[in-house]
Structure 1
Amino acid sequence: MSARIPPVVGADLWQAAIAAAAGRCQCRGACGKSHAKAGSRCGREHGGYQQHHGGGTVRLLVAPADPANLLMSPHRTAALPKQALAAWCPACHDAALTAARRTARAADPPAPDALFDI
């Protein structure tokens, strides 16, 4: 694994979560992919090269491990203990976040506009 470059804020928590993940994305299918080629866990490593999604260097981020908690506000997420956090590659995080939003919208449909009630 290459050198870990922490974010400006929350570096200690980020480093602890990345170390617990051994520098590898911890997605096990929340993004909608089976990750079958990598043993059912995403194979992207921090500092590694990604062949898809524009290529370039993989920079893991730390977010709630439970995909349902990805919709939490940033200040509530920052208050989570490190055991509730996981390392995510950007592609898996974005796909899991989109799925969480879709699930939340389906569970709580918007109320009709009162302007047109008769």
Structure 2
Amino acid sequence: MSARIPPLADLGKWQAVIAAAAGRCQCRGACGKSHAKDGDRCGREHGGYQQHHGGGTVRLLAAPADPANLLLPPHRAVALPKQALAAWCPTCHDAALAAARKAVRAAAPAAPDALFDL
């Protein structure tokens, strides 16, 4: 446990989320990967080493469990109860956030360009 370095803000909530996740990323495919090699759940653990994506030590994030809620502004995301949060490795978090943004853009109707309306 000495390799686990907590974040600077709201330590209690972060610790509860990471403990509930057993120190492992809880992504089950929201990032676009199947994680089939790891039992359908991301295998990255807090304080562990990641070989890809720049290497280095994995630092898990406590962020909304529902990928749609990843788009919440930070002041609303931190107000969520710990039951609505999940542990995310940065790689899965960034990919799930990008997928959520893409889904919102795809669902939004194309606004007409007012400059060229006749």
Whether 2:65 is the aligned partner of 1:61: answer no
Hey, what's the Cα distance between the residues in 2 that align with 1:110 and 1:19?
43
TM-score by length of 1: 0.95
Residue 51 of structure 1 is matched in structure 2 by 51
Structure 2 residues not aligned, in runs of 5+: none
Identity %: 81
CA contact (8 A) 1:2 1:46 kept: no
RMSD, aligned α-carbons? 1.1
TM-score by length of 2: 0.95
Hey, what's the Cα distance between the residues in 2 that align with 1:57 and 1:33?
21
Hey, what's the Cα distance between the residues in 2 that align with 1:62 and 1:89?
9
Hey, what's the Cα distance between the residues in 1 that align with 2:106 and 2:36?
29
SS at match of 1:19: helix
Hey, what's the Cα distance between the residues in 2 that align with 1:97 and 1:76?
16
- CA shift digits 1:27-77 (9 cap, x unpaired): 000001010111000000000000110111000011000001100011111
* Structure 2 letter corresponding to 1:101: R
Hey, what's the Cα distance between the residues in 1 that align with 2:22 and 2:48?
13
Q: CA deviation at 1:6?
A: 1.4
Structure 1 residues not aligned, in runs of 5+: none
| Number of positions where the alignment pairs a residue of Structure 1 with one of Structure 2 | 118
Hey, what's the Cα distance between the residues in 2 that align with 1:60 and 1:2?
15
SS at match of 2:69: helix
- CA shift digits 1:6-38 (9 cap, x unpaired): 111111111110011000000000001010111
Whether 2:99 is the aligned partner of 1:99: answer yes
Residue 88 of structure 2 is matched in structure 1 by 88
CA contact (8 A) 1:48 1:57 kept: yes
Runs of 4+ in 1 over 6 A off after TM superposition: none
